[in-house]
């Protein structure tokens, strides 16, 4: 099968999608698309591409049944620029291949993340890993302090390099807000795992916005697979055994046996479930229909 060209993805190639104050996501290249997924899924049956409707049904079937390997046939390469603290979270996703700018080889640029005023919120009281909804008092002064510290540290960094200190040791004093860049290549199955975790409301805002930019690229490259990802992963809610038992009790007209923290988490999941809406162009038959791989 010849190289798959997708017009929407071609339009995105080499375009910087701006993220945060100085970062970006750029789709460098892609290999494969929905067509490649269905070809790979059908290879054992010797049956090629069928109608759009059947392809959509098959991709939906694969996603629903976690038959994930055909999605690994699609690859995306990104060039991204992000603060080091975002890169630290990002790099935990081990199934990608990456190549990062070298602070031993190059002088690091004078580019630091400065949060928007709206992100300068207080510590969340119920989640130790999160921020609250309220912008903190003195946020403007704090931003000015951050910028002053960044200027000072960068001046010291360049000063030490100018005096002959090795770049590899001078850079060790630079802060987490410094921007770094890398090339990052991942297959679509593992990109969906990344997006599922990092587009979630529990992920830190500063990585979520990168995930959202990459989601645009994934959607352009493989729109049917992206729809299936939204259907079965992104907009789905997972209930524990205890929660399923509680739900069964409620549906049978009984009382909810959950209490305390377990009840609070259950109620959050119910609220998330109730907030889910179908897209306007949803084809309900395809969303629920069972389509065999041949
Ligand atoms: C909201 C949030 C908060 C977090 N907080 C913290 C934190 O406080 N501290 C912290 O350390 N981390 C934290 N993490 C990171 C988290 O624990 C995971 O490391 C990260 O999300 C990557 O997930 P993953 O392992 O599924 O991804 P990947 O590394 O992409 O792995 C994908 C799948 O491949 C498997 N896999 C990958 N490599 C191998 C291998 N070599 N051998 C066998 N199987 C492999 C994995 O088991 C997994 O099933 C947080 C993540 C999120 C989303």
Is residue 9 helix, strand or coil?
helix
Q: Which residue has the tokens 């060039």?
A: 79
pLDDT of residue 283: 57
Is residue 21 helix, strand or coil?
coil
Tally Cβ neighbours within 10 Å of residue 234.
16
Cα(47)–Cα(292) distance, integer angstroms: 12
pLDDT of residue 280: 78
**Residue 197 alpha carbon to ligand 1 centre in Å:** 9
Instruction: Decide: 237 in ligand 1 pocket, CB within 6 A.
Output: no
pLDDT of residue 180: 97
Tally Cβ neighbours within 10 Å of residue 91.
13
Is residue 235 helix, strand or coil?
coil
Which residues are tagged catalytic? Answer: 198
Tally Cβ neighbours within 10 Å of residue 26.
19
Ligand 1 atom nearest residue 198's Cα:
53
Tell me the domains of the chain and their CATH numbers: 7-240 (3.30.1360.170)
pLDDT of residue 3: 86
User: Is the pTM higher than 0.85?
Assistant: yes
Ligand 1 atom nearest residue 95's Cα:
30
pLDDT of residue 169: 95
pLDDT of residue 45: 57
Decide: 176 and 88 in contact? Cβ < 8 Å: yes
Tokens of 215: 């989601």
Instruction: Decide: 11 in ligand 1 pocket, CB within 6 A.
Output: no
76-113 pLDDT tens trace: 999 999 999 999 999 999 999 999 998 888 999 999 99
Output the residue whose Cα is nearest ligand 1's atom 24. Answer: 93
Decide: 78 and 172 in contact? Cβ < 8 Å: no
Point out the residues of the chain with pLDDT beneath 50: 285-290, 294
**Residue 89 alpha carbon to ligand 1 centre in Å:** 9
Tokens of 70: 């055909």
Output the residue whose Cα is nearest ligand 1's atom 47. Answer: 94
Ligand 1, pocket-test mutation among 69, 87, 94, 190, most atoms within 8 A of CB: 94
Q: Which residue has the tokens 């593992």?
A: 190
Instruction: Decide: 202 in ligand 1 pocket, CB within 6 A.
Output: yes
């Amino acid at each position: 099968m010849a190289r798959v060209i997708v017009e929407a993805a071609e339009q995105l190639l080499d375009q910087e999608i701006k993220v945060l104050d100085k970062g970006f996501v750029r789709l460098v290249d892609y290999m494969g698309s929905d067509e490649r997924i269905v070809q790979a899924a059908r290879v054992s049956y010797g049956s090629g591409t069928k109608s759009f409707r059947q392809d959509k049904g098959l991709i939906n079937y694969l996603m629903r049944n976690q038959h994930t390997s055909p999605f690994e046939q699609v690859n995306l390469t990104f060039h991204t620029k992000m603060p080091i603290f975002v890169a630290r979270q990002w790099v935990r996703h081990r199934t990608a291949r990456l190549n990062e700018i070298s602070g031993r080889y190059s002088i690091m640029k004078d580019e630091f993340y400065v949060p928007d005023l709206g992100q300068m919120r207080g510590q969340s009281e119920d989640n130790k890993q999160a921020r609250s909804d309220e912008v903190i008092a003195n946020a403007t002064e704090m931003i000015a302090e951050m910028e002053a510290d960044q200027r000072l540290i960068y001046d010291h960094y360049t000063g030490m390099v100018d005096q002959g200190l090795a770049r590899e040791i001078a850079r060790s004093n630079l802060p987490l807000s410094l921007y770094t860049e890398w090339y990052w290549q991942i297959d679509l199955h593992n990109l969906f795992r990344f997006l599922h975790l990092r587009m979630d409301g529990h992920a830190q805002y500063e990585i979520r916005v990168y995930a959202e930019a990459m989601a645009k690229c994934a959607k352009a490259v493989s729109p049917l697979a992206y729809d299936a990802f939204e259907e079965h992963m992104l907009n789905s809610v997972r209930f524990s055994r205890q929660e399923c038992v509680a739900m069964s009790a409620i549906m049978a007209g009984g009382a909810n046996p959950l209490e305390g923290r377990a009840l609070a988490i259950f109620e959050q999941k119910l609220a998330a479930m109730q907030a889910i809406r179908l897209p306007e162009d949803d084809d309900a038959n395809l969303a629920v229909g069972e389509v065999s791989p041949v």
